[in-house]
Structures are given as structure tokens and as C-alpha cells.
Amino acid sequence: MTEILLNLTTRPIPFPPEAHDRLQVEAREIIARYPHPRSALLPLLHLMQSVEGYVSGTGIEFCAEQLGLTDAEVTAVATFYSMYRRTNTGDYHVGVCTNTLCAVMGGDQILADLKQHLGVENGETTADGMVTLEHIEC
Ligand code: FES
């Protein structure tokens, strides 16, 4: 008999209480700058990314809690904008544009050289956690 376990209740691990409280103070300062709390979502996502290096499930939940939004609403925004990383990022985040103009100026070759030099593919981080390489478009 084959047993398939499917856990649909997995929730992100919340921030530790002291970190949560400190972030909540910062979040309230940010939210106070806007006439409507939900208008503070982008800066709150930036705050989450500055804390963890990317926007984690914990960060999504935190933003939703602060703004009275659902996790799905926050996730939709976080995944729409390419400036928000959804996976762990190295100490240095290197983006190479390969749009037509930049490709003509050598963007494709620079990206290829960096992939070879760093030993990573697009979106990956070096084994030492120092550099995340990403193909971007302006
Ligand atoms: S086209 Fe590459 S930075 Fe604008």
C-alpha cells in the first residue's frame, strides 16, 4: 500500500517575538505615511526583504497582518514585481540586463561570462552564499 502524505496546513514560522515587535514599530511608522494602510504594501515588502534578504512566507504573513490583507493579496503583489526576491539571496545581488540595447552592448556575453565564472545559472547563488546572479530587464 502506498501512503501519500499531503500537508495543506504548513504555515511559515513567525518572526521571533522581539523581532516581530521591532518590525511592527517600523511597519507602523511606514503605514502612518499613507492615507490608506494598504498603500504601504510596497515599502513593507522592501522592509521584509531588507530583514531577510528576500520576501519569505513569514514576511508575506507579517505584511498581511499589518495591513489587514490576505496572504494571497500580498503574495500577488510580491510576485508581480521582479524587484522582490522570493528565494534566499547572496550578500551581493548581481543583475545583468539583456534587453535588446544591453544585449547589443554585450549584456548577453557578460551574463554568460558571469555564469561561467561564478558556476551558477540564472537566479542561483554561489555555494559560499556570496553572490546571486540574475538576468534582469530594465
Ligand atoms: S535596456 Fe538594459 S538597462 Fe535598460
Q: Give the CATH number, domain containing residue 97.
A: 3.40.30.10
What's the pLDDT at 1? 46
Q: Are 22 and 56 within one domain?
A: yes
Q: Are 24 and 52 within one domain?
A: yes
What's the pLDDT at 31? 98
What amino acid is encoded at 25 in this protein? V
Q: Are 48 and 103 within one domain?
A: no
Q: Whole domain around residue 109: which residue ranges?
A: 92-136
Q: Give the CATH number, domain containing residue 42.
A: 1.10.10
Q: What is the total residue count of the chain?
A: 138
Residue 90 CA, ligand 1 centroid: distance in Å: 23
How many structural domains are present in the chain?
2
- Taking the model in full, what pTM does it have? 0.75
- How far does Cα 104 stand from its chain's mean position? 29
Q: Are 97 and 71 within one domain?
A: no
**Which run of H or E residues covers position 102?**
helix 100-104
Q: Which residues of the chain have pLDDT under 50?
A: 1-2, 6-7
Q: Are 74 and 107 within one domain?
A: no
Report if residue 87 sits inside a domain.
no
Residue 105 CA, ligand 1 centroid: distance in Å: 10
Residue 23: CB partners within 8 Å, gap ≥ 6?
A: 15, 47, 51, 62
pLDDT digits (tens, 9 = 90+) for 9-44: 568 888 999 999 999 999 999 999 999 999 999 999
Q: For ligand 1, atom 4, name the residue with the nearest CA.
A: 138
Report if residue 55 sits inside a domain.
yes
Residue 108: CB partners within 8 Å, gap ≥ 6?
A: 98
Report if residue 3 sits inside a domain.
no
Q: For ligand 1, atom 3, name the residue with the nearest CA.
A: 138
What's the pLDDT at 8? 52
Residue 93 CA, ligand 1 centroid: distance in Å: 17
Residue 30: CB partners within 8 Å, gap ≥ 6?
A: 40, 43, 44, 47
Residue 3 CA, ligand 1 centroid: distance in Å: 51
Report if residue 7 sits inside a domain.
no
Among 110, 135, 138, which residue has the most ligand 1 atoms within 8 Å of its CB, making it the best to mutate?
138
Report if residue 56 sits inside a domain.
yes
Report if residue 5 sits inside a domain.
no
Ligand 1 pocket member 103 (CB < 6 A): no
